[in-house]
Chains A and B, each alone.
Chain A
Amino acid sequence: MAKNSKLTTAILVLIPVAVGINYAGKLFASALKLPLWLDSIGTMLSAVLAGPIVGAISGAINNIIYGLTTDPVSFVYSLTSIGIGISVGLLAKAKMFNNAFRTLLSGLIVALVATVISVPINVVFWGGQTGNVWGDALFAFLQSKNVGIWLSSFFDEIVVDLVDKVLCVFITFGIFKALPKTLIYTFKGEE
């Protein structure tokens, strides 16, 4: 158990809640007809609270549960969620969320990480597409202009991810700043 000693019981119960927040974020976003997914807030919040490893686990479990309950394709995108969890956790450790400018920069980094991981998956599984109408329209346009598949797929993914991930990062920090300190210490990983 020495390996798991960092994963206290409080942190283990945080992971399901993170997945639930992702789920609720997606639900609220579609109920309010927001043109975004906003479905990685829980993963990000757990990474900010308890560090990159917990963020990565939350991300992976999030996609496994999605795969088991709605859409089997989401299994393969676990890698993207793991990347989001790790990058947000590391950025939080590096105090990259202290002001609005740094938070924006962090959002851009997270979007870039998510895109770089998703693109190979998109190319292998979908021939480069993402399933998002606007992104795929751009993809088709770039393909017709003979831009390479990797670059087309990169732009397809980033137009969607950029806004979504930057907003998710801002929302996560808005919520994190509003949490009572006692709650934050409960879920903080042991250093």
Chain B
Amino acid sequence: MKVLSLYVERDTFIHRLEPITKLLYALISIVITFLFPSITVGAVFVASSLSLAISAKVFKRMILLLNVVLIILLSIVIIQGLFYSKNATPVFKLWGLTFYKEGLLYSLLLIVRVVNMIISFGVLILTTRPSDLVDDLVQKGLSPRFGYVLASVLQIIPQMLSTTSTITDAQRSRGLETEGNLLQRFSAFFALLGPLVLNSLVEARERAMAIEIRGFGVEGKRTFVREIPETKADRWIKVALYVVFTVAVVWRIVLWIM
């Protein structure tokens, strides 16, 4: 079955880690880069996330993920460089516009944070099957009912997208105008979304009955077809992450007091 995912099939150490370990790394590295308003701290985490991505052999895909925010990052440099409220020291002039040091440094700080966020989450997303992540979370205590919701979204979206193209074809064959002026296109939006909503709600009702019959609502502990193992490496990495996190928080508090 087609499932929505960015997972890249490789066999590396990073791929074999437990999904929660990678999730923990992403969360902790993001929180730390926001605790310290320092470009150096940000750069250290960008470097470490990037080295994880390279060792997991997903560097090329990572570039594609970063492309999504490229334009907004460029516009941050321009807008903050020109108009940041604490701007005082001019650095260079371009086409008669003066860029300031304070704004450029501030935009650099924002950029390292966002880039770290994308790469650290990217490592998780590109090296983990979404279903493995959901299974792992359920095995660690997430409600299985919510686990089902998360897992089924990933299957339903591709299903609905194929319904989408069926509906588009059907409406076009009835003469639906999908080009033309804004009003025409807007009414086409209704003609396309309406049947999709009705169709998916009817299917959802059937699905609810089907899983209810198969014991979905049963209370009690669940067993798993596939156990996600927690290896020794996972345990050590988790301990290390908790230590780094605690040190960072304590250090931050000390800096505040002093």
Contacts and interface: CB of A to CB of B under 8 A. Distances in A.
Nearest to A76: B117
Interface of A: 1, 4, 7, 9-10, 12-17, 19-21, 23-25, 27-29, 31-34, 38, 41, 45, 57, 61, 64-65, 67-73, 75, 124-127, 129, 131, 136, 139-140, 143-144, 146, 148-149, 171, 174-175, 178-179, 183, 186-187
Contact of B164 (A24, A67, A71): A24
Given A15-B149, A41-B193, 5 more contacts: A12-B145, A68-B5, A73-B117, A126-B76, A144-B82
A124 B34 contact: yes
B211 A9 contact: yes
A190 to B, nearest CB: 14
B211 A127 contact: no
Secondary structure at the A interface, as helix, strand, loop or mixed, is: helix
Contacts of B193: 21, 24-25, 28, 41, 171, 175
Contacts of B198: 178-179, 183
Secondary structure at the B interface, as helix, strand, loop or mixed, is: helix
Contact of A72 (B71, B72, B121): B121
Interface of B: 4-6, 34, 65, 68-69, 71-72, 75-76, 78-80, 82-85, 106-107, 110, 113-114, 117-118, 121-122, 125, 130, 133, 143, 145, 148-150, 152-154, 156-157, 159-161, 164, 168, 178, 182, 185-186, 188-190, 192-194, 196-198, 200-205, 207-208, 211-212, 216-217, 219
Nearest to A148: B85
A14 B182 CA distance: 31
A69 B4 contact: yes
A67 B130 CA distance: 11
A78 to B, nearest CB: 13
